[in-house]
Amino acid sequence: MNSPLAAVRRVPRRTWIRYRFVFLVLAPVMALFIYLRIVPAGQALLMSLFDWGLIKPADHFVGLDNYVNLLSDDNFRLAFMNTTFFAVATTVISVVLALALAALLARFVTGRIGGALELLYFAPVLVSMVPVTLGWREIFNYQHGILNSALGLVGISRQAWLSDPTMALVGVVILSVWKQVGYNMIILIVGMRAIPHVFHEAAAVDGASAWQQFRWITMPLLAPVTLFVVVITTISAYNVFTQVYVLASDVQGAPGQLVRVLVYDIFENGFRFFKMGYASAEAMYLFAVILVLTVIQFRFLRGSAE
């Protein structure tokens, strides 16, 4: 007998009790999870195929029109370029800096001095983004910001950090690297300290210099951790929003170029223009990019770890 009913009868009673327990525990959690994650994900995909407004939902099916129109939308293209530049710059700079810091602080400068220094670099990570962005907005101020004054001391002319579109992008990169470096550094330090000493000692005996030890022993063994740091930095960089929004949102007068990034464009399309289908399609593009980058990074760094 192979009917489903027979299969059900074959299951022992204890397993049924266990199944009931699983169900009672998992059902509410899964219900919440499906409502808050799966349903929105599916809806985002569905909405992207419609011309969907806020007050009048599901206007009409437009198929892939949203996706096609986005490709010729100047705002989307600018957002894509800005976000990509931002993500690449922030990731490269913050990871390289973090590696350098970790290399020094994991083994070379340790103890209480090392711990205190680690704390200094970690401090920006602790505080939330809005207060520090407000602080940086004043630091970047053309006339009475301290960055331009400091640059003036070394003979560099005043830069238009907030009023020139390109410099504004550079400014956001600086702010984000500053915020991110400490986090990456801490994780890399833990990763480095987990590498057994014997490898370095053996290499030292063989006459390898500190740099060679770092390049040929530490780095390869650290690859999984480095991969992790690169991936999370990239993903969070592609999702940048808060800094950009706060830097450009003074309604009363401080200059603030809006650095148009993807999430801001989605936000504007969805919640200013109420083109929710269009915004969902844009979100799908963002997701696709992140997915592709993550896969590439996994392949690349895992390959180099072999």
Partner 1 sequence: MIRRRRTPLGSLTYWLVVAILLIGGIVMVFPLFWLVSTSLRPAPELLLVPPRLLPEQWTIANFQKVFDQAPMLTYLWNSLVFATISTVFILLTSATAGYIFAKFKFPGNNFLFMLVIATAIVPFEIYMVPLFLQMNALGLVNTPLGLFLPFLVLSYGIFFMRQNTISGVPDELLDAARIDGMSELRIMLQLVPRLLAPAMAALSILAFIQAWTAFIWPLLILNNPKYYPMELGLSQFANSSSVDFGMVAAGAVIAMLPALIAFLILRRRIVEGITLTGLKG
Partner 2 sequence: MTRPRAWIKTLALVSTLAIVVGACSSGTATQAPTAAASTTPSAAAGSTGPAPSASAAAVNACGDAPVTLNVWGGYPEVDAVYKLAGENFKKTHPNVDFTVFSTDLRGFEQKLSTALPSKTAGDVVVRTTNFLSRFIDQGLLAPLPDDLKTFVTGGAYDPAIVADNTYANKNWGVPLFIGTAGIYYNTDMFTKAGITAPPTTMDEIIADAKKLAVVDASGSLVTSGLSLRLSGQGSGVAEKFWILLLQSGRTLIKETSPGKWQADFNGPEGVKLFQMYVDLLKANIDSLNIDSDAKAFETKATAMFLREAWVIPEIATKAPALVGHYQTISPPVGSLVTSESMFVPAASPNAACAWEFVRFLKEQEQQISMVTISGWLPARKDLDLTAFLAANPTYAGFFTHPAGFKLTYTPPIAEFDEIETKLATHLVAAYADFANLAGQPDKIQTLLNTWADETNSILKTNGHFGG
Pick out residues in 87-146 that bind partner 2 (CB under 8 A): 142-143
234 vs 297: CA distance, rounded Å: 10
264 vs 285: CA distance, rounded Å: 14
Least Å from the CB of residue 30 to partner 1: 6
Binding span for partner 2 by CB under 8 A among 16-24, 83-91, 231-239, 273-281: 273-281
238 vs 264, which CB is nearer to partner 2?
264
User: Which of 193, 190, 184, 188 is closest to 125 using CA atoms?
Assistant: 184
Q: Which two tokens stand for residue 176?
A: 């984000």
Residue count at the site for partner 1 (CB under 8 A)?
Answer: 101
Binding span for partner 1 by CB under 8 A among 59-67, 78-86, 161-169, 227-235: 227-235
38 vs 43: CA distance, rounded Å: 8
Q: Considering only residues 48 through 87, tell me which ones interact with partner 1, judged by CB under 8 A.
A: 54, 57
Considering only residues 62, 80, 86, 270, which one is a binding residue for partner 1 as defined by CB under 8 A?
270
Question: Computed over its alpha carbons, how large is the radius of gyration of the chain?
Answer: 25
281 vs 69: CA distance, rounded Å: 10
Q: How many CA atoms lie within 13 A of 237 on its CB side?
A: 36
245 binds partner 2 (CB under 8 A): yes
Considering only residues 83, 243, 257, 280, which one is a binding residue for partner 2 as defined by CB under 8 A?
257
Give the binding site for partner 2 (CB under 8 A). Answer: 55, 75, 142-143, 158, 160, 162-165, 245, 248-258, 260, 264, 268, 272-275
